[in-house]
Amino acid sequence: MTRLLIVDDEKSLCQMLEIAFRKEGMSVETVTSGALAQKKIESQAYDVIISDIRMPDLTGIELLEHARATRSRAPFILITAVPTVSTAIEGLNLGAYRYVIKTDKLVEELKVVVARALEDTALREDNIRLRREMLRVFAHNNIVRRSRKIEDILELVRTVAPTTSTVLVTGDSGTGKELIARAIHEGSARRDKPFISINCGAFPETLLESELFGYLKGAFTGADTNRKGIIESSDGGTLFLDEIGETSLSMQVKLLRVLQERVVRPLGSSTDVPVDVRIIASTNRDLKSMVAAGQFREDFFYRVSVIPIHVPPLRDRPEDIEPLARHFLLKFANQMQKPAHDFDSTALDALKKYSWTGNVRELENAVERAVAVASGEDRVIRLGHLPETIVGETMFQSTTMAFPKEGLDFEAQLGEIEKKYLRAALDVAGGVGTHAADLLKMSYRSFRHYAKKHGIHLVRTDGTG
């Protein structure tokens, strides 16, 4: 049921409005002073608030300010018998929904205004739900994950996306910081406006300034026409400043002014251009340490990191490796029209054990390479299809062990290591014995001897099948 609060020092008017809106099926509360209304707003939630402007203890404008300070989102309707333009403008600037003059048609007019306010509120809530659903779909389709850490980040993204606050996304290179920035944009009211990304470390300072701020004809040699900058082009949307830690101190001053005053000044101009743009920045550097070292402005750091989001490296969320690898396998197999649809157990185990210093980007490149080198008949990706760095690290890990206090059978342990290397070499060689022997820097005769010793059956001795 709709909850309505009516505030007016005329008791008879309160009673008349209460009767009228109760007939509309609403729950109505009335108070005859601003102070009582403040307490009501602090303790309860209302769907609509109607308040007189002129009251003995508190004006309707002051009550409106109090409601907004207490984060009440209820549409606030001001009514008055003595209208003035200045008061109307002040109320609307503070967020009043409507300004209604008391006439003999007040009840009918208020019914219409309240109905529209409720419709607008429902529409706004539907839009918020829609944006959250779009964000969920974007995250589901673009951010492959299984770990709790990434789910927690996406929950934070859903919370901050509808706001206009500046966000700083931190994390190692290749962790997917731009995907997080795009998810924030998709979950905001700006999703139909531009999302523009620029890598601050890819440009020298003078070129970065002209790219960001634009310029007028004649501003410098080669400026033959006026050109709008990236910041102005992002108006209404989101600007993603990748690698913000690479900007110079002087550039940070210019960007700080954009954040503080929401204006840009093109090169060669003496006029500011207002902009409405949300800035999301990212870095793989420790900005706090840079601030301490005088390499990053402290005031700019606090402006750009209102909401910090840290994306952990892939090695700290190993449960994401398998779903990411399978996602990339499907992606590249479809692109290259290859039949590969899965990893064999040895290859998948190698992917899970690898350290992934290059994070998700390195994993994506490794899977792309594996699909590319797989033959047209390979339905699974084997260890031999993976980059040598992954195979080498996996083989090294397979030989490491803790020495038991009770001792061990040295010959038996050496035998196990020999067997692991033989099998790994065969995997890399695709089952070709002569190739496996070459990988182990031994003759095929020696390789066949060790294979027989350890009960490894050789099916293929050369590349003929």
Q: What is the average pLDDT score of the chain?
A: 87
CATH code of the domain in which 339 resides: 1.10.8.60
Residue 387 and residue 305 share a domain? no
pLDDT > 70: percent of the chain? 91
Question: What's the pLDDT score for residue 404?
Answer: 65
Residue 410 and residue 396 share a domain? yes
Does 106 reside within a domain? Answer: yes
Question: What's the pLDDT score for residue 312?
Answer: 93
Residue 325 and residue 259 share a domain? no
Question: What's the pLDDT score for residue 82?
Answer: 81
Question: What's the pLDDT score for residue 242?
Answer: 95
Is residue 282's pLDDT more than 80? yes
Residue 320 and residue 306 share a domain? no
Residue 236 makes CB contacts below 8 A (sequence gap 6+) with: 190, 193, 194, 276, 277
Structural domain harbouring 434 = 316-453
Does 424 reside within a domain? Answer: yes
Lowest-pLDDT range of 105-114, 120-129, 309-318, 356-365: 120-129
Average pLDDT of the residues in 154-171: 93
pLDDT bucket at 459, cuts 50 / 70 / 90: low
Does 46 reside within a domain? Answer: yes
Question: What's the pLDDT score for residue 465?
Answer: 42
**How many CA atoms are closer than 13 Å to the CA of 36, on its beta-carbon side?**
13
Of 97, 124, 151, which residue is a domain's last? 124
Q: Over 80-135, what HEC string results?
A: ECCCCHHHHHHHHHCCCCEEEECCCCHHHHHHHHHHHHHHHHHHHHHHHHHHHHHH
Residue 218 and residue 267 share a domain? yes
- Joined together, the tokens standing for residue 90 give 């002040």
264, 233 Cβ separation under 8 angstroms = no
Does 463 reside within a domain? Answer: no
Average pLDDT of the residues in 41-50: 93
Average pLDDT of the residues in 260-275: 93
Residue 283 and residue 193 share a domain? yes
Question: What's the pLDDT score for residue 394?
Answer: 58
How many domains, in total, are found in the chain? 3
Does 209 reside within a domain? Answer: yes
Residue 338 and residue 263 share a domain? no
Q: How far is CA 218 from CA 214, 269, 321, in A?
A: 12, 10, 53
Question: What's the pLDDT score for residue 397?
Answer: 54
Q: How far apart are the first and last CA of the chain?
A: 77
Is residue 138's pLDDT more than 60? no
From 370, 349, 352, select the one nearest 423 (Cα to Cα). 349
**How many CA atoms are closer than 13 Å to the CA of 372, on its beta-carbon side?**
8
- Joined together, the tokens standing for residue 217 give 């004809």
Is residue 63's pLDDT more than 70? yes
Quickly list H helices, 169-320. 177-186, 205-213, 230-233, 249-261, 287-292, 298-304
Question: What's the pLDDT score for residue 462?
Answer: 55
Compute how many other C-beta atoms are within 10 angstroms of the C-beta atom of residue 276: 12
51 bridge partner residues:
7, 78
64, 75 Cβ separation under 8 angstroms = no
Residue 432 and residue 395 share a domain? yes
Average pLDDT of the residues in 415-428: 81
pLDDT bucket at 127, cuts 50 / 70 / 90: low
pLDDT bucket at 399, cuts 50 / 70 / 90: very low
Q: How far is CA 388 from CA 164, 351, 369, in A?
A: 46, 12, 11
Residue 301 and residue 182 share a domain? yes
Whole-number Å distance between alpha carbons of 135 and 154: 9
Residue 341 and residue 218 share a domain? no
Residue 286 and residue 205 share a domain? yes
Lowest-pLDDT range of 66-70, 120-124, 271-275, 302-306: 120-124
Lowest-pLDDT range of 38-52, 141-155, 206-220, 399-413: 399-413
Question: What's the pLDDT score for residue 91?
Answer: 81
Residue 82 and residue 159 share a domain? no
CATH code of the domain in which 256 resides: 3.40.50.300
Does 465 reside within a domain? Answer: no
What tens digit of pLDDT does each residue of 74-114 get?
999 999 888 787 777 888 888 889 989 999 899 999 999 99
Of 285, 312, 339, which residue is a domain's last? 312
Average pLDDT of the residues in 259-271: 93
Question: What's the pLDDT score for residue 393?
Answer: 65
Does 323 reside within a domain? Answer: yes
What tens digit of pLDDT does each residue of 283-341 get?
999 999 999 999 999 999 999 999 999 999 999 999 999 989 988 898 888 889 888 88
Whole-number Å distance between alpha carbons of 131 and 218: 43
Does 91 reside within a domain? Answer: yes
Question: What's the pLDDT score for residue 400?
Answer: 47
Question: What's the pLDDT score for residue 52?
Answer: 93
Of 277, 295, 312, which residue is a domain's last? 312
Is residue 374's pLDDT more than 70? yes
Q: How far is CA 20 from CA 1, 14, 37, 48, in A?
A: 15, 10, 20, 15
CATH code of the domain in which 104 resides: 3.40.50.2300
> Which has the higher per-residue pLDDT, 404 or 208?
208
